[in-house]
Chain A
Amino acid sequence: MKEFIRPILMNRKAFIGFILLSIFILMATIGPMIVPLNLSSNFAERYKPPSFQHPYGTDYFGIDIFQQMVHGARSVVGLSVLASFFAVIIGAIIGIARGYIGGFVSKFLDTIITIFLVIPSFPALLIMAAIFADRSLNMITVALIIAMWLWAPLAKQISAQVFSIKSREFIETSKMLNLGTFYILFKDIMPLLLPYIFINFITQLKGAMEFSVGLMFLGLAKFDPTHWGVMLNYALYQAGALYTPRGFHYPIIIMIHIVLLIYGGILFAQGIEEIFNPKLRRYE
């Protein structure tokens, strides 16, 4: 664990990214326990600017925005992490299988990967969401739907990696020693892929975030009224925040949070990549 933490503290990008992500993760996990959520409307308090009582101000219905952001963080972070996690799992399994097995199976998987690469993800995701829109959705189903349109590029990259690792000497040795596919996959190949998969997990967060917020923003798959995408939708269309000068802070706060969360992920991924691949930091 120590060997893992130290380089993160040493690398500026990884450190800032780590801090940003930690803040949002704390917001999503502990936040809802500390901050109460009061969703009853109070029109007297409509569009109050940020103050001590309401750190982020209030929305059209006079509901505290900070409370909503904190409670929404749970589904935003949870959904992105889950979707990214599923995507990485699917991508890794299919990628390793495609890279390692060869023959007909490999050709078949290759075709599947290519089909998913060719079909543009976001429109496909929208259609999927529309299909399931009338059924009750929870976080896991939405995450799975999103992951379905995220895994393909990863599978392709991983299969290429496995391909190159496969031909290395020590794999040949293990094969000659008859150590078995299971041993080779998990003892020889996996350790080399893990950093790569981990970086991809973080990079995928960006895609997962964009997709989930985009979905909610379009009014699809709304399972949580405080999800930031849903809030952005309200801010724009329902509460008319766009057209009242007083509502200025509402959409801006949501946007800043979305961008900061994604930026944290990007910085962290870049930092981790530099740690594992020192070639990148040559001049820095």
Chain B
Amino acid sequence: MKYILNRLIQVFIMTFLALTVVFFIVQSMPGDPAFGLAVSIAQTRNMSLEKALEIAHNIIGYNPKEPIILKYIKFLKNIFVGNFGYSTYFKTSVNEIIGKALPWTLFVISLATAFGFFAGTTLGALSAQKRGTFIDTFIATLFSIIQAIPAFVLAVFILFIGAVRLRLLPLGGAYPVEMTPGFYPGFILALIHHALGPLIATSIPQMASWGLAMRGNCSNIIEEDFVRFAKIRGLSDSVISQKYIRKNAILPLVASLAIGIGYMLGGHTLVEVIFNYPGIGYYFGQAISARDFGLLTGLFSLIVIGVVFATFITELLYAIIDPRVKAQ
């Protein structure tokens, strides 16, 4: 318990430091963050740019004359109360965008991770247990080739073949615009149909990396004395494979699932951009190309907080599920 409290304090310090870095990186971006908004205000309301800038500054709560340290404190305070800022490009609060986008991203990355983890660990264990056979060579080679394919190259390929050539997949969106969201079979099918591209592009590389990790873990464990002793005791191969080899190999991986999902929040950007899938990464891409500093800061802060907490959860999970760690 004391350990958890200690770690929690560390997590807060870490979040604070990481957010500080985020703040200063974004601060070093050139230009007035409200400029884009001001231009559009000036155009729509037909007023001088100067005046529009003032209004824009008010909307996003930004004061150019404010010293940087005050801005910094305000930024931290806002994040602390859960206010991620204002998007000048979409002209709405970042919280609203997060509310819209985060579910899609979480939907895709959790499904993709679940599939990638399941398929990867199963095939990886199989490969290790059939070491030296054709199956092993096949799986290991396949996985290392997949590792050489960046997720976005795979995404382009899937989009190219699936959506453009074969016209099996949609070209963007999370569901068809003409449909009303709800819990009915047609809509759910459409959801899956639209998520399929990002799902495949995300889960295949995941499968390969979980698979190679599992293969490595299993190959080490097969040589452990306790596996040999289990054979000596006459245990059946299936019990040894499940309870003695796979269980020991998979526990550390299960724990790192959380951290994987945390990093996916950020690593998913290009895939979502390519598939026009309206998740966090898509908006991140939009913010980059529109130079929407408010949105960038907000999303980036969210991703960083996500990763820090995922790391924390991973550690806890590891201590809970693996008796070897609990001892220390």
Which residues of A does B touch, CB under 8 Å?
111, 114-115, 118-124, 126-128, 130-131, 134, 206, 209-210, 213-214, 217-220, 232, 236, 242-243, 245, 248, 251-252, 255, 258-260, 262-263, 265-267, 270, 283-284
A residues less than 8 Å from B131 (CB atoms):
283
List the B side residues contacting A127 at CB < 8 Å.
Answer: 25-26, 29, 288, 296, 300
Which residues does chain B contribute within 8 Å of A206, judged by CB atoms? 147-148
* A120-B144 contact, Cβ under 8 Å, with A115-B14, A220-B288, A236-B156: no
Identify which of B67-75, B192-200, B267-275 touches chain A: B267-275
Q: Are A118 and B307 in contact (CB under 8 A)?
A: yes
How close is B206's CB to chain A, nearest CB, in angstroms?
Answer: 15
Complex CA gap A219/B11 in Å reads: 35
List the count of A-B residue pairs having beta carbons below 8 Å apart. 113
* Shortest 7 CB-CB contacts between residues of A and residues of B: A120-B266, A263-B148, A262-B148, A210-B150, A123-B266, A131-B29, A242-B164
User: B280-306 vs A: 1/0 string, CB under 8 Å?
Assistant: 000011001101000010011001100
Give the most central of A218, A219, A245, A266: most B CB within 10 Å: A218
Q: With a CB–CB cut-off of 8 A, which chain B residues contact A259?
A: 145, 148-149, 153
Is B109 at the interface (CB under 8 A from chain A)?
Answer: no
Tell me which of B14, B145, B149, B152 contacts A118 (CB under 8 A). Answer: B14
Residues A214 and B150 in contact, CB atoms below 8 Å apart:
yes
A263-B141 Cα distance, complex, nearest whole Å? 11
Chain A interface helix/strand/loop/mixed: helix
A114 to B17 Cα, complex, angstroms: 10
Q: How far is the CB of B54 from chain A (nearest CB, A)?
A: 25
A11 to chain B, nearest CB (A): 15
**What 6 additional pairs, Cβ within 8 angstroms, besides A127-B25, A252-B160?**
A114-B14, A121-B266, A130-B296, A131-B30, A214-B270, A267-B144
Contact B25 A131 (CB under 8 A): yes
Supply 25 A–B pairs (Cβ within 8 Å), ascending by A: A111-B17, A114-B14, A118-B14, A118-B304, A118-B307, A120-B263, A122-B269, A126-B269, A127-B29, A128-B25, A130-B291, A130-B296, A210-B150, A213-B150, A213-B153, A214-B270, A217-B152, A219-B289, A232-B153, A252-B160, A262-B148, A262-B149, A266-B144, A266-B147, A284-B132
Contact between chains at A243 and B156 (CB < 8 Å): no
